[in-house]
Amino acid sequence: MSMITYQDFVEQPNVQDAVLQAINNWKGSDIYMTAVTADLYDRQQNQTIMEYVQKVYTLSGNAVENRVASNNRIASNFFRRLNTQRCTYSLGNGVTFNKPGVKDKFGTRLDTVLIDAGYFALIHGLSFLFTSDRMYYFKATEFVPLFDEDTGAMRAGIRFWQLDSDKPLFAVLYEEDGYTKLSTKDNSKGLQIIEPRKSYIQHIVKTEADGEEVVGESNYSGLPVVPLWGSKLHQSTLVGMKGAIDSYDLIRSGFANDLTDCAQIYWILENYGGMTDADLTQFRDRLVYNHIAEMDTSMGGKATPYTQEIPYSARTQYLELIKSGIYEDFGALDVHTIAAGATNDHIDAAYQPMDENADDFEAQIIECLQTLGKALGIDEEDAIPQFKRNRISNQLEQVQMLTQEAEWLDEQTILEKLPNVTVDEIDKILKRKDAEDMERMARNPFADQGENGVNEDGESNEQTNIG
């Protein structure tokens, strides 16, 4: 199904029909359907294993469900764990900007919203950031982007939600000159405008007589909704990873099924060909419940128990190979591969694949915030965020190295490089240190001067009392 562009949308004579058509078209797109599947794997409801049914083939070659065999369905949690690792690696400590006050211009909750938007950008391939007085994010399963055919930029978008198929559909159309709300509350009329277009910025005046009053409206210099891609591939991390996860789930679930099925004892009865199915069932039930049965061996009759051995070693090794392959292909860090007491050189080498993927992910975040910052009137260079990657390290070794370099570094740089100090704590620590220095100077003005009150110029600071 071809994507509806911004030009296709504005050519529609009726905005209600255009919005409904865009939503239905988006639900049939590859991005949307992949995002729906990714949500299942994110909730550890892996689609393939949850829908798996063991089958056997009849003599005629028809496949039928095997209702006798065990059917354990064990879903792994690789998808959520690895995507969480990649997202928090870059955004777990928040972001900072070189110029003071820039972060506040993006609206409140930037760090918390950005980590959610970043996570869904990874698993869906795409998410969206929207800001007014505060920051919001939209998932690919609830937002339709409308890209310009000529520039590729997103010129408009539609957020939609519906609690159930028999509940009303709600939609908000975001355009450069404002937003419009629509709904199907009145089913007889279809999708209707319930709130005409409003500007994004409302200028409000408060008076004692009239309370709050809107005295004017304005918009940003561009659309305040921007796309955030998870990587330069512009696709979900589930692509390419799904097959390996499904293979792991099927092997592990089959392992559990075989353990259950092979734990049973099979009996071979000799010289009892005259027994009917009912007799065989009675013989089996007596063994199961009484653990004893009568056998007539005078005519050569005999009952022999058999058990099956499952290929344990081969399957265990194969599961380990799949697991290591998932981590390697995703570029994730398996902490079990780092030996206790490893040096920072070994740890840095283990983090190399994560650093490469983080560079790609962070580049998408930078582009997203620069585009959003441009709409908010923030200079492009000022809108570049700084990341403090969330990684394990040999902290003692790192602090010892920093101690050796401290004489050439200022206090802020030292704090920024300390592994146990977060980005948000640095300014608070510096302010407290300044306050302590001011208090100390107030108590003893000559505390930082030489012995006997002699300053750096060799002048005496001793006070002489006259009289």
User: What 3 state SS string does 133-180 have?
Assistant: CEEEEEECCCEEEEECCCCCCEEEEEEEECCCCCCCCEEEEEECCEEE
Give start and end residues of each alpha helix (H) in 192-338.
242-262, 277-290, 312-330
CA–CA distance, 129 with 368 (Å, rounded to integer): 8
Q: Is the dihedral of CA 16, 18, 21, 23 positive or negative?
A: negative
pLDDT of residue 215: 64
Residue carrying structure tokens 């920051």:
135
The total of other beta-carbon atoms located within 10 Å of residue 229's CB is 21
For residue 140, give the DSSP letter.
T
pLDDT of residue 203: 73
pLDDT of residue 262: 61
- SS3 at position 258: helix
CA–CA distance, 332 with 344 (Å, rounded to integer): 18
287-290 long-range contacts (CB < 8 A, ≥24 apart) are none
CA–CA distance, 133 with 414 (Å, rounded to integer): 34
pLDDT of residue 416: 78
pLDDT of residue 264: 60
Nearest to 365 by CA among 2, 88, 91: 91
φ/ψ of residue 271, rounded to 5: 60, 35
pLDDT tens string, the chain, 467 residues long: the values are 678 999 999 999 999 999 999 999 999 999 999 999 999 999 999 999 888 776 666 667 777 666 656 677 889 999 999 999 999 999 998 999 989 899 999 988 999 999 999 999 999 999 999 998 889 999 999 999 999 999 999 999 999 999 998 899 999 999 999 999 999 988 777 899 999 999 998 777 777 766 676 667 888 999 999 999 999 999 999 999 999 999 999 888 887 777 666 656 666 777 777 778 887 777 777 776 766 767 777 666 777 776 666 667 888 888 999 999 999 999 998 877 766 666 666 777 888 899 999 999 999 999 999 999 999 999 999 999 999 887 765 456 567 777 877 788 888 888 877 777 777 788 888 888 888 888 888 887 665 555 555 554 555 555 444 43
pLDDT of residue 409: 82
For residue 229, give the DSSP letter.
E
The number of angstroms, rounded, from the C-alpha of 208 to the middle of its chain's C-alpha atoms is 47
CA–CA distance, 136 with 88 (Å, rounded to integer): 18
CA–CA distance, 368 with 362 (Å, rounded to integer): 10
φ/ψ of residue 34, rounded to 5: -65, -40
Between the two ends of the chain, the Cα-to-Cα distance in Å is 100
CA–CA distance, 168 with 185 (Å, rounded to integer): 5
The model's pTM: 0.76
CA–CA distance, 416 with 122 (Å, rounded to integer): 28
255 CB-near residues (< 8 Å, 6+ apart): 310, 315, 319
Q: What is the DSSP code string of 183-202?
A: E-SSTTT-SEEEEEEE-SEE
What are the CA-CA distances from residue 348 to residues 338, 359, 379, 460 (Å)? Answer: 10, 15, 34, 54
**8 A C-beta contact, residue 90 and residue 387:** yes
pLDDT of residue 464: 44
